[in-house]
């Protein structure tokens, strides 16, 4: 079964302590939870990726912003893979976990669209995996004159052009 990878949806993305909550935070959580419920019901393995920020960063290990966002409801049997760069596939344990499931494809969602999601799409494709990106279940912040929705749309187009399948939560889950 195709693994679902939830990238960097950590407390610091939502709690508003170090920066405003990520764009459309409540809907991002709801869509992520919908994908997780569908995956669990269909027998797809779910894993989380957590960014380990540098010391002093809000996402540094042990900081309040570092844990996976509790509202997602991570299951005890759902592993967390750490990384300190954008590409989740920089952690060989993630690749080994996917290989152990005999998976040739992954489904990606999470944050940050223009950083770690984009890098992980590239890393997964470079690893020879088929990639599905959930178009409405990854997010970012307004940046450099672009709104978050513009950044998300631009990256969804780029993901498709790179060879990823890009679908909505409803298309993926049938809901």
Q: Which residues are catalytic?
A: 116
| Cβ atoms of 24 and 65 closer than 8 Å | no
Nearest to 67, CA basis, from 109, 11, 14, 18: 11
Distance CA 105, CA 101 (A): 10
Distance CA 135, CA 168 (A): 5
E strands of the chain, at which residues?
A: 4-7, 46-51, 80-83, 105-111, 130-139, 165-167
| SS3 assignment, position 143 | strand
């Amino acid at each position: 079964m195709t693994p679902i990878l939830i990238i960097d949806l950590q407390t610091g993305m939502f709690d508003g302590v170090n920066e405003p909550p990520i764009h459309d935070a409540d809907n991002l959580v709801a869509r992520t939870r919908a994908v997780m419920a569908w995956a669990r019901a269909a027998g797809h393995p779910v894993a989380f990726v957590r960014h380990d920020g540098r010391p002093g960063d809000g996402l540094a290990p042990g900081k309040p912003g570092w844990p996976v966002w509790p509202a997602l409801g991570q299951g005890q049997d759902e592993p967390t893979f750490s990384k300190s760069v954008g590409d989740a596939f920089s952690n060989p344990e993630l690749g080994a976990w996917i290989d152990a499931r005999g998976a040739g494809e992954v489904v990606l969602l999470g944050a940050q669209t223009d950083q770690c999601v984009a890098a992980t799409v590239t890393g997964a494709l470079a690893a020879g995996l088929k990639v599905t990106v959930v178009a409405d279940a990854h997010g970012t912040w307004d940046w450099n004159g672009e709104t978050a929705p513009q950044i998300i749309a631009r990256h969804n187009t780029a993901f498709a052009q790179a060879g990823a399948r890009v679908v909505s939560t409803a298309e993926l889950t049938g809901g």
